[in-house]
Structure formats: structure tokens, C-alpha cells
Amino acid sequence: MRTISAPGKPFDHGIGWFRPPASADCTPAYVEHYGTGCGFWNAMRIYPHRRLAMVAMTNTTFRWDFDDLFTHLEQLR
């Protein structure tokens, strides 16, 4: 389920998880999933090889820079 099986634009897709193609060679490797709706924007990221997962939930319908947040938190571990 964590394996990216359908590379393509704008995201590489697995079963429910994806990553931007530009992040394919990032270390540590990760996959993500987003959720949006009326008044919320959520992001989840999993670093499988580090056994680490993060979720950020917000009260906004606008995309925000969660990548910097997740990258910073991952480095604190």
C-alpha cells in the first residue's frame, strides 16, 4: 500500500497515498494524503522507513505550506 505503483503528473500514486514526483528521491522517503472540504484543509505524511507519521489539521480551505512544517518536525525526531 505504501509502494508508488503509478508514477505520473502531478503526483505519483499508490493506493490512497501519493507524493509529488519532485520528492521521489527525497531522504527520508515519504508518502502523503490530503483532505479538504468546506472550512478545512488537512495533510497526512508517513515516513515508512522511520516508522513515523504526522497529521496537520487546519480550519481553512486554502492550501498552506505544510511541507516546511513536516520537514522541520521530522528533523526533530
pLDDT tens readout for residues 25-53 = 888 888 888 887 788 888 899 998 899 99
User: What pLDDT score does 44 carry?
Assistant: 92
Q: 61 or 6: whose pLDDT is higher?
A: 61
| Spatial distance between the Cα atoms of 75 and 50, rounded to a whole number of angstroms | 11
User: What pLDDT score does 51 carry?
Assistant: 92
| Spatial distance between the Cα atoms of 66 and 16, rounded to a whole number of angstroms | 19
Helix (H, G, I), strand (E, B) or coil at 19: strand
DSSP class of 23:
G
User: What pLDDT score does 65 carry?
Assistant: 84
| 2 has a pLDDT exceeding 60 | no
| Spatial distance between the Cα atoms of 75 and 15, rounded to a whole number of angstroms | 27
| Spatial distance between the Cα atoms of 29 and 3, rounded to a whole number of angstroms | 11
DSSP class of 68:
H
